[in-house]
Amino acid sequence: MLNETTVTKLHEMKLSTMAQAFRDQTKDSNFSNMSFEERFGMLVDIEWSNRKSNRLIRLIKKADYAFNDACRRCINFCVWDAGNTP
């Protein structure tokens, strides 16, 4: 009962990723051997990483690049010498 209340409060505080990670931790017995600080640190890291990732995705979409699927491998780096042009 306490866990569901905690998960509900996390969702209300817009910490959905942390709520899901908390649910996953309570279901996995491997986490029971970890200290509170380790488990809490993992929850915070997961939420922080997700927020950073979402921010980057949002900024990329907002940038409205001309070539959304461009990659560095596809760039043709040719040497252009201004002195040898006709």
| 20 part of a folded domain | yes
| 58 part of a folded domain | yes
| 9 part of a folded domain | yes
pTM score: 0.69
Total domains in the chain come to 1
| 86 part of a folded domain | no
Q: Which residues of 5-41 are buried (b: 16+ CB within 10 A; e: fewer)?
A: eebeebeeeebebbbbbbeebeeeeeeeeeeeeebee
Task: Print the domain residue range for 36.
Answer: 2-74
**pLDDT tens profile 17-57:** 999 999 999 999 999 899 999 999 999 999 999 999 999 99
| 8 part of a folded domain | yes
**pLDDT tens profile 70-81:** 777 877 777 776
| 40 part of a folded domain | yes
